[in-house]
Structure 1
Amino acid sequence: MTSSSRQHDGTPMDALISMCDLVTPMALRVAATLRLTDHMLSGATTADALAGATGSDSGALHRLVRHLAAVGVYREGEPGTFAPTDVGLLLADDHPVQQRHWLALDEPIGRADLAFTQLLEAVRTGRPTYEALYGRPFWDDLSAEPELGESFDRLMATEEEAVHAAPVAAYDWSGVRHVLDVGGAPGGFLQSVVRHAPHVRGTVLDLPGPADRTRGRLTAMDPNAPIDVVGADFFDELPVRADLVLLSMVLLNWQDDDARRILLRCREALEPGGRILLRERAEPQKDATVSTSDRYFSVLDMRMLVFLGGRVRTEEEWTALAASAGLAVTSLVTPISSPVVPFDFCLIEMSPV
C-alpha cells in the first residue's frame, strides 16, 4: 500500500475499495473448499504443511492465508505460523452453523455463487445466469447430480429444529388435520410441525429425486412419524388434497408468473375451507435505517435473481401475488426471530377469495 492510498482510510474511498474487493470473498471460498481451518486445528499451521495437506502450491497458499490473516479470518503467531480466529473457526467442518459447506466451491451454494460473475447479464435480462454457467437450471442440476442434491439437503437441515421452532410455535395448528408441504424436501419443517401438533398428519411433495431422499431420511429418523412422501411436480395438478397447504421458503425461488402458477395448483389442492400457509423471509422493518437485516434481505434477493430468477418479496408484493391467484392474505405474522439464523421469518396465510 502506498502512502497516497493510506490517506483514504475511513473515507468514502476506503469504503468503496472495501466494497469492490473480490479477493476476500473468493479467498474465503477457497479456504472453505480446502478445509484450511480443519487442517490448522489438526496441526498443519505453516504454509508448507497446509500445502502438503491440500495438494496446493506452498507459495500461493501462503499468500492466500496471509490475506485472510490481514482481514481477521486467521492470525499469525510465530512468523509463518497460522491459526484460526473466532471468525476462522466458523469454517470448521463440524461447526454447527455449517458455514464451510455454504461457501465451499464444490458444494451447491458456493458453486452457484460463481454465477455472480455474470451478474451484468442477469441485471440486463432479469433472468438467472446459473444455467449459462453450468448448462442446467439450478434445480435440474441438483436432481442430475446426486452428490449436489444430498449436500443441499444437508445444508437445509442445518440446525433445523432450532430454526423451525419459532415459526412453528407462531401458528395456530389446532384446527388443522392434514398438512401438504409442497416443495418440502428434506422434510424438516413438516417434522417440526407434527412434533408440535401431534394430531396433524403430513405429506411432503417434491420432485422424485428429492422425494426419494426425503423418504429415506424420514424413515431412518422416525419410521412411525405420520408423514407420507410423494414425488410430483408442483407445476402439475397435485395428487394430494389437504386442509392446509404449506409452502416453506419455496416461492422466493420463482419469478412472479411461476409463483402464481404454484399458488394456483396449491389452491386447487385445498379441501373446502382450506388455507395456504407460506413461511418466507420477512422484509426489513420499514422504520429502520439500512441495517444488517436489510443486508441479509438484499443478499438473498440477489442470489435468487442470479441462481433461479426468483425474488424475496415485501408484504405489499405478497398481497399482490395472492390476488393474482384468486387468494387473499388472511393473516400475516412478522417478524419471527430465531436464535440460530440472523434474519427474521414471516408467516403468510392465504385463503381463496
Structure 2
Amino acid sequence: MHCLWITRQDPRPANSGELIYTLGLLGSLAKQPETELTVLAHRAAAGAEGGPPVHWELHGKIPGGRLKSLLSELPGDAFRLGNPVQRQALSLLLGKKWDWIVIDQAACAWALGMIGTHQKVAYIAHNHEAAVRKQVASDRGGSLPMRMALKWDALKYARMERALCRRADLISAITPRDTEAFGTEFPGKPVCTLPPGYQGEAAAGAPREITSETPRRVVLAGAFEWVAKRRNLEAFLNAAAESFQRGKIGFQVVGKADPEWFAALAKQHPWASFTANVPSISPYLDQARIGLIPEALGGGFKLKALDYIFRGLPLASVEAALSGVPVNPQTEAIAAPDPESLTKAVAAKIDDLAFLNHAARRALDACRDAFHWEDRGVTLRKALGNPESFRA
C-alpha cells in the first residue's frame, strides 16, 4: 500500500501535542507490512534527522502572517499551509499512483481541490474543528477585531472540514466524543477512533508515593502557542488566584511558550511560576502533587494527561477535557465543570494524600496497557485496508 501523507510540518522534533500525534501515527503505520509512506510537509524550524522509515518531501517553512487569508475562502492556517511552494510539490507528487492520500489535520484540506475524484482520501482529525473553532470564537476574550476575525475563521474552518468529511473515504477521530460527532454528522461514513499512544518516561511499577514532603504544588505542562491554549491558562490563573493564594498552593506552568508572554503573566500573577521551553518536563512533574488540565476551550485528546498519569500524578481536569482518558472522574481524578469549580476542588483535595495516591494508582493501572502506538498502526492499517469494517 502506497500512501501520500500531507501534514503541516516535519514532526521531528515532536515538541507539541499535534506533532507527537502525527509522528506517532506515522511511525506506527510505517511499521505495518506492505506499507510505504511519503510525507509532504514544511520543514521544521530546526533541521531534523532520524524518525520513522518514510520518504520525506519537505519544502520551505510555514509562512507567517494571516491578514491575506481574510479575503480567501480558506481559514488562516490552511491559507498559509497551502502556499505556492507546497502546491507545486503536491502537483508533482500527484503524478504518481497512490492507494491513499492522507490529510493529516483539517488545516491541510487546502490540498483537497487538487486531488482527483478517483483518489481515495483519509482524514486524520486531531479535533472536530467545526465545533472547536466555534467554541473558541465564542469566547469573549481579546479585542473586538480579534473576536470578529476568529468568528470569520471559524465559519471557514467549518465549511472546509465539512467538505473534507464529505469527500473522505475514511475519517479517524482522536477521542470517542469526536467519533460520535463525526458519525452523527456524516451517517454511514467509516470512522475509526485513534487515541494517541505514549512512549515517554513511565513509572516501572507502582507510581511514586505522594507524601507530606511532596511540595503542595499543582503543575500545568504543555504547549501554549494556540490562542485557545493561552486563554485557557489565563482563565485558570484568574479563577485560581484567590483560593490558591489563600491555601498557599504552588502553581507551576512549564512548556513550549513565548518567554515574553510567560514573563508578562509572571508579573500579573506573582503567586505562580512560569518556565518556558525546558528540555524536559519530568523534573517539574516529580515536584508536584497534581497535574492540571484546565482546557475549557478546545477539543482533542489532552496528551499532557498521559505525561501526568505515567509519571504518577493524579489529574485535576475540567470534565470535558477527559474524553478518551480511561479514568472515573468521580473517584480517580479531581474533575469539575469549569475552571472556577476546579480551583475549589483542587484546594479541597491537595492535602488528601490517600485520595491522591489512590487516584494516581488507578489511573496508571487503567492506562498502562491502553496507549501503545503499535496498536494505533494496526488499527489504521486495518481501516485503510477495509474501511467498510468501520462503517456504523
Under a length normalisation based on structure 1, what TM-score does the superposition of the two structures give? 0.34
Under a length normalisation based on structure 2, what TM-score does the superposition of the two structures give? 0.31
Q: Could you say which structure has the higher helix fraction?
A: 1
Greater Rg by CA: 1
Tell which has more relative contact order, 1 or 2 (C-alpha 8 A, sep 6+).
Answer: 2
